[in-house]
C-alpha cells in the first residue's frame, strides 16, 4: 500500500536547501509525509545544481545508484527538481529512463499534481519560469534547530557571462518584507538563534512596498535580539552605504560579508560582465572596513576563465593579498551551455587551470591561517552549536564573523547559548579558546557584545 512517503536529497547552494524546505512544506500541506530513508520512500526527489559540470556529473552518478530502489519498488516515482531540471528539461526523461518527473524552481506548487499523474504512469515536465513566484505564502517545513535558511529573493538579473543561474532560476523577484518578518517571528517562537537571508543576489532585494535590503535587515534584526541575522550572496554592485551602516548599527546583524570577486583582472572582469573593476572592489572593501570595524569577508574565485593569461592570474593573487579574505570558495572555470562565455574559447588548458587553482587555494590557506593567528589573545562572542565534531568534551560554535571556535565543554553551557570565549590557538580553519562567561543576548542597536 502506498504511504505517500517522500524522500528528498539536496545538492548545490543554500537556495536549494531552502527550496527543498518549501517543497516539503507544499507536500505536507497535500497529505504527504517526509522520510529520511530512501528505501521506505514512494517518491524520491533530487533537488539539483547545474552551476558546474562536476555538480551535474555527481547527480547522474546518484541517479544510477537510485535505480536499485526502483527495482525493489516498481511504483516508485523518481523526480528531478532544481537547476538541472530547468536546464535539461525533456532530455532528462529521454536520456535517463528512470526519471518520472522533472520540475524547475518556479513550478514547485505543482509537485503534488505531477506525483499524482506519475503514480498513474504518466511522466511529467514542469519547467516554466515565473516573473512573480516567490512562495511567499508557503511555510517551509523545518525540523527544530538553531539555524534556519530563509529565501528572500529569487532569480538573478546580473548575467555574469559564465553563469547558468539567470537561465535556470529566471528573473529577480523579492518576497514581501512583512512575510519574511512573520517567518522570523515564528522561528523566534520555536527557539531558533540564527537566520540566514538568502538570494542569488540578496542585496538587490526590493519588495513591492519599496523596501530595500537594508530595510529588510534592520527589520529582521529587531524581531529578536537573541537571533543573529546572516545573509548571502552579495554582489559588489549592490553593496550600498545604507546597507553597510545598517550592518554596523545592529549588533545582531553579523559582521560577515560574502562578496565574490571572481577575478582580480579588469580585462577578465569585463569579459565576465561583473560591472566593477578591481580598484572599485578594493575601495568597497576599505569602505566596509571603515564603517563596520572587524568585518570579515569571504569570496568566490574562478580560475582559468577564457583568455585568462598568467598576468591575469597574478592579478587575482594580488587582490587576494590586498583584501586578505577570511575564507574563499575557489573553482576551475566550467563552460556552461547557453551562457555567453560558452561561445568564447575555453582556451586555458586543464593542467594550467589546475595549477592556478592550486596556487589560489594555497595562498588562501596561508592568509586564513595568518588572519586566524592574529586573533589569538582576543575575546569573541560565540553562538554554541553543539559538541565539536571530534569530541563531546568540547563545544563548538561560530563567531559573528563566521569563524568556527572550539572550546572545552562547561557544565552549564549548552547549544543555543551565547558565550564569551578567549582565543588561545588557531589553524587556517578553526579557532580554539577558553570559556569566559555567558552572554545574555545581543543588546540595543549600536552596542556590540564582542569582547
Ligand atoms: N564555472 C566555474 N565556477 C562558476 N561559478 C558560477 N558559474 C561557474 C562556472 N561556469 C561560481 C562563481 C559563483 C559561485 C556560486 O560559483 O564563483 O560565485
Ligand atoms: Fe550567477 Fe553572477 Fe547572478 Fe551570481 S550574480 S547568480 S554569478 S549571474
Cα of 159 from ligand 2 centre, angstroms: 6
Q: How distant, in Å, are the alpha carbons of 40, 235, 241 from that of 291? A: 53, 18, 9
Q: Is 163 in the pocket of ligand 2 (CB under 6 A)?
A: yes
The answer to whether the CB of 205 falls within 8 A of the CB of 246 is no
Q: Which residues partner with 397 through β-bridges? A: 384, 405
**pLDDT digit of tens for each residue in the chain (451 aa)?**
567 999 999 999 999 999 999 999 999 999 999 999 999 999 999 999 999 999 999 999 999 999 899 888 989 999 999 999 999 998 899 988 899 999 999 999 999 999 999 999 999 999 999 999 999 999 999 999 999 999 999 999 999 999 999 999 999 999 999 999 999 999 999 999 999 999 999 999 999 999 999 999 999 999 999 999 999 999 999 999 999 999 999 999 999 999 999 999 999 999 999 999 999 999 999 999 999 999 999 999 999 999 999 999 999 999 999 999 999 999 999 999 999 999 999 999 999 999 999 999 999 999 999 999 999 999 999 999 999 999 999 999 999 999 999 999 999 999 999 999 999 999 999 999 999 999 976 554 444 444 3
C-alpha cell at 268: 577578465
pLDDT number for residue 441: 62
Angle between helices 310-323 and 278-291 (to 10 degrees): 10
The answer to whether the CB of 55 falls within 8 A of the CB of 82 is no
Q: Is 156 in the pocket of ligand 1 (CB under 6 A)?
A: no
Atom of ligand 1 nearest to the CA of 164: 7
The answer to whether the CB of 280 falls within 8 A of the CB of 244 is no
Residue count (the chain): 451
- Distance CA(83)–CA(49), nearest Å, equals 5
Testing ligand 1's pocket by substitution, the residue of 162, 316, 364 carrying the most ligand atoms inside 8 A of its CB is: 162
Site of grid cell 577564457: 306
| Mode of pairing for the β-strands spanning 33-34 and 5-10 | parallel
Residue nearest to atom 2 of ligand 2 (CA): 160
Q: Is 167 in the pocket of ligand 1 (CB under 6 A)?
A: no
- Distance CA(107)–CA(156), nearest Å, equals 17
Query: Residue 64: which residues within 8 A CB-CB, separation 6 or more?
Result: none
Cα of 382 from ligand 2 centre, angstroms: 31
Residue nearest to atom 12 of ligand 1 (CA): 300
Nearest by Cα to 76 from 58, 108, 96, 99: 99
- Distance CA(75)–CA(78), nearest Å, equals 10
| Mode of pairing for the β-strands spanning 173-174 and 153-154 | antiparallel
Site of grid cell 560574502: 258
The answer to whether the CB of 402 falls within 8 A of the CB of 298 is yes
Query: pTM of the prediction?
Result: 0.95
pLDDT number for residue 72: 87
- Distance CA(308)–CA(357), nearest Å, equals 12
Q: Which residues partner with 46 through β-bridges? A: 9, 80
Instruction: Report the Cα–Cα distance between both ends of the chain, in Å, rounded.
Output: 59
- Distance CA(160)–CA(305), nearest Å, equals 12
Q: Is 162 in the pocket of ligand 1 (CB under 6 A)?
A: yes
- Distance CA(31)–CA(112), nearest Å, equals 9
Residue 328's Cβ-count burial label (10 Å; 0-12, 13-18, 19+) is buried
SS3 label, residue 188: helix
- Distance CA(143)–CA(243), nearest Å, equals 31
Domains identified in the chain and CATH numbers:
5-126 (3.40.50.12160), 147-373 (3.80.30.20), 379-439 (2.40.50.140)
Sheet holding 296-303, edge to edge: 256-258, 296-303, 327-332
Distance of CA 348 to the CA centre of its chain: 28
Task: Output DSSP code: residue 97.
Answer: T
pLDDT number for residue 444: 44
Q: Is 156 in the pocket of ligand 2 (CB under 6 A)?
A: yes
- Distance CA(269)–CA(206), nearest Å, equals 26
pLDDT number for residue 447: 47
Query: Residue 390: which residues within 8 A CB-CB, separation 6 or more?
Result: none
Query: Residue 283: which residues within 8 A CB-CB, separation 6 or more?
Result: none
- Distance CA(449)–CA(164), nearest Å, equals 41
C-alpha cell at 204: 538587490
Site of grid cell 568597497: 284
SS3 label, residue 364: helix
Amino acid at each position: 500500500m502506498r504511504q505517500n512517503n517522500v524522500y528528498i536529497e539536496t545538492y548545490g547552494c543554500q537556495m536549494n536547501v531552502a527550496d527543498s524546505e518549501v517543497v516539503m512544506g507544499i507536500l505536507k500541506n497535500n497529505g504527504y509525509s517526509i522520510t529520511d530513508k530512501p528505501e521506505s520512500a514512494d517518491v524520491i526527489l533530487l533537488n539539483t545544481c547545474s552551476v558546474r559540470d562536476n555538480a551535474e556529473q555527481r547527480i547522474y552518478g546518484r541517479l544510477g545508484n537510485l535505480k536499485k530502489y526502483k527495482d525493489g519498488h516498481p511504483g516508485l516515482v523518481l523526480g528531478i527538481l532544481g537547476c538541472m531540471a530547468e536546464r535539461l528539461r525533456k532530455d532528462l526523461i529521454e536520456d535517463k529512463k528512470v526519471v518520472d518527473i522533472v520540475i524547475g524552481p518556479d513550478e514547485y506548487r505543482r509537485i503534488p499534481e505531477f506525483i499524482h499523474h506519475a503514480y498513474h504512469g504518466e511522466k511529467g515536465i514542469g519547467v516554466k519560469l515565473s516573473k512573480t513566484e516567490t512562495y511567499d505564502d508557503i511555510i517551509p517545513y523545518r525540523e527544530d534547530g538553531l539555524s534556519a535558511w530563509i529565501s528572500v529573493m529569487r532569480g538573478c538579473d546580473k548575467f555574469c557571462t559564465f553563469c547558468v543561474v539567470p537561465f535556470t532560476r529566471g528573473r529577480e523577484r523579492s518576497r514581501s518584507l512583512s512575510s519574511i518578518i512573520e517567518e522570523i517571528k515564528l522561528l523566534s517562537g520555536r527557539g531558533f538563534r540564527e537566520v540566514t537571508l538568502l538570494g542569488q543576489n540578496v542585496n538587490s532585494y526590493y519588495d513591492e512596498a519599496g523596501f530595500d535590503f537594508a530595510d529588510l535587515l534592520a527589520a529582521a534584526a529587531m524581531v529578536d535580539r537573541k537571533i543573529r541575522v546572516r545573509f548571502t550572496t552579495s554582489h559588489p554592485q549592490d553593496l550600498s552605504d545604507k546597507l553597510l551602516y545598517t550592518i554596523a548599527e545592529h549588533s545582531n546583524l553579523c559582521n560577515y560579508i560574502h562578496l565574490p570577486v571572481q577575478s582580480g583582472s579588469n580585462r577578465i572582469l569585463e569579459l565576465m560582465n561583473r560591472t566593477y573593476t578591481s580598484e572599485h572592489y578594493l575601495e568597497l572593501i576599505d569602505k566596509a572596513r571603515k564603517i563596520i570595524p572587524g568585518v570579515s569577508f569571504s569570496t568566490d574565485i574562478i580560475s582559468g576563465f577564457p583568455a585568462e593569461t598568467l598576468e591575469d592570474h597574478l592579478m587575482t593573487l594580488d587582490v587576494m593579498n590586498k583584501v586578505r579574505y577570511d575564507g574563499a570558495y575557489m573553482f576551475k572555470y566550467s563552460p556552461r551551455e547557453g551562457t555567453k562565455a560558452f561561445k568564447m574559447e575555453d582556451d586555458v588548458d586543464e593542467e594550467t587551470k589546475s595549477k592556478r587553482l592550486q596556487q589560489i587555494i594555497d595562498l588562501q590557506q596561508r592568509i586564513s591561517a595568518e588572519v586566524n593567528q592574529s586573533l589569538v589573545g582576543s575575546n569573541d562572542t560565540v553562538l554554541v552549536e553543539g559538541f565539536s565534531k571530534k569530541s563531546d568534551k568540547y563545544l563548538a560554535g561560530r563567531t559573528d564573523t563566521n569563524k568556527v571556535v572550539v572550546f572545552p565543554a562547561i557544565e552549564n553551557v549548552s547549544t543555543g547559548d551565547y558565550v564569551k570565549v578567549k582565543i588561545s590557538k588557531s589553524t587556517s580553519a578553526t579557532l580554539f579558546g577558553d570559556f569566559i562567561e555567558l552572554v545574555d543576548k545581543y543588546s540595543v542597536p549600536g552596542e556590540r557584545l564582542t569582547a
